Amino acid sequence: RLPKKGMQHRVEMENFTIQLFELYISLIPSEEEEMRRSKVLSQLDGVVYKTWPGAKLFLYGSCANAFGVRNSDIDVCLTVEDRKMNKAELVVRMAAILEGDNMQNVQALTHARVPVVKFTDPVTGISCDICVNNMLAVVNSKLLHDYSKIDVRLRQLAFMVKHWAKRRQVNETYRGTLSSYAYVMMCIHFLQQRNPPILPCLQEMQPTYRVKVGKIECAYYDQVDTLRHFGFQNKETLGELVASFFEYWAFHHDYNHLVISVRTGGFLSKDEKDWTRRIGNDRHLICIEDPFEVSHDLGRVVDKRSIRVLRDEFYRAANIMRHDCNPSVTLFEPYIR
Ligand code: ATP
Ligand code: MG
């Protein structure tokens, strides 16, 4: 069956947008929460300073990139020059420091791709992940934040997609589905592709921001205040965008041949990236190029089983948008496995 059309459809779409908008508002973190977060951070600053006076703490992830919903945890990156210790050792040292400071549930995950120490602050109950010398995460969080300032529809769409992914249990990298970071990339790319476009491609514009992280040159146009009107020609509403997003990933994306690339604002072929074969555990069943680490496919966690789960969920969502008379409830119904 084809999508609904006509007057009735228009009214339904308007209602849908209103309901999504209410959901969006309810997901925005409160000011009080922001305050609690900065308290945890300044306390951390104090603790770290005692051991490494030259160290710096940077926020990254959802609390720095504008895509954090209520009650999310904080991601912090510690930058410290200590030639005697590698990242894993620094993480272990940090864990000892936090335990000495009476933090709860302190865990050092030294074997993860990115070693982190996790803990909970007993006063605020906020959980925090600290990684070490991972400036790329800080820089890509800034890129996402800058995109979010251009058109509010990005933040709204990403909130809806992330909320859907959490409710439907397809936001679990350890089970082969996608990270929040990957979903935000999909949203940015989708809005770059609208006609007329809602977002520009900041990495294709004259760079006003440049940093080198290891061997990777990160450069893009970050004077986004000048782009406030960029998406004005496009009048699509939140409801229409959510519907088209799922329609695209359910029915139109060419999973066999294409890579989505926020860096170029377009598509690349799997052939040119050499992402056509499975190498080790890396499969390329849904390809999302990282904007800076271009050899990194954010979809590589997806395997033969989980690609089915993911595509079935896109399909379910798209069908709800096409046929359900109360999509804002059905779309986000929790999936009980
Ligand atoms: P959530 O609200 O679910 O916690 P989040 O925005 O914190 O969402 P995560 O997927 O937890 O998103 O990632 C946190 C940050 O870690 C991202 O903003 C990004 O900077 C970095 N990151 C996560 N996954 C990757 C990855 N595969 N490659 C590079 N950086 C990543
Ligand atoms: Mg996070």
Q: Let me know how long the chain is.
A: 337
The token pair that represents 29 in the structure block: 């973190």
The token pair that represents 56 in the structure block: 């710096």
Residue type, 214: G
pLDDT for 154 equals 98
Angle between helices 135-150 and 180-193 (to 10 degrees): 40
Query: Looking at the CA of 68, which ligand is closest?
Result: 1
Query: Looking at the CA of 293, which ligand is closest?
Result: 1
pLDDT for 97 equals 94
**Domain 137-330 grouped into CATH 3.40.50.720:** no
Q: Whose CA is nearest to atom 30 of ligand 1?
A: 137
The token pair that represents 93 in the structure block: 């040292």
Pocket of ligand 1 (CB under 6 A): 60-62, 65, 67-68, 72, 75, 137, 140-141, 179-181, 290, 296, 298
Query: Looking at the CA of 112, which ligand is closest?
Result: 1
Matching fold, domains 31-135 and 137-330: no
Angle between helices 31-51 and 87-100 (to 10 degrees): 110
**Cα–Cα distance, 32 to 34 (Å, whole number):** 5
The per-residue b/e assignment along 53-72, b for 16 or more CB within 10 angstroms, e otherwise, is: eebebbbbbbbbbbbbbeeb
Q: Which of 58, 62, 297 to mutate to test the pocket of ligand 1 (most atoms within 8 A of CB)?
A: 62
What fold, for 31-135? Beta Polymerase; domain 2 (3.30.460)
| Domain locations along the chain | 31-135, 137-330
**Cα–Cα distance, 131 to 110 (Å, whole number):** 10
Atom of ligand 1 nearest to the CA of 184: 6
Q: What is the mean pLDDT of each run of 10 residues along the chain (337 residues)?
A: 70 93 97 91 92 93 93 93 88 94 94 91 94 95 98 98 98 95 98 98 98 96 98 97 98 98 98 90 92 96 96 98 90 89
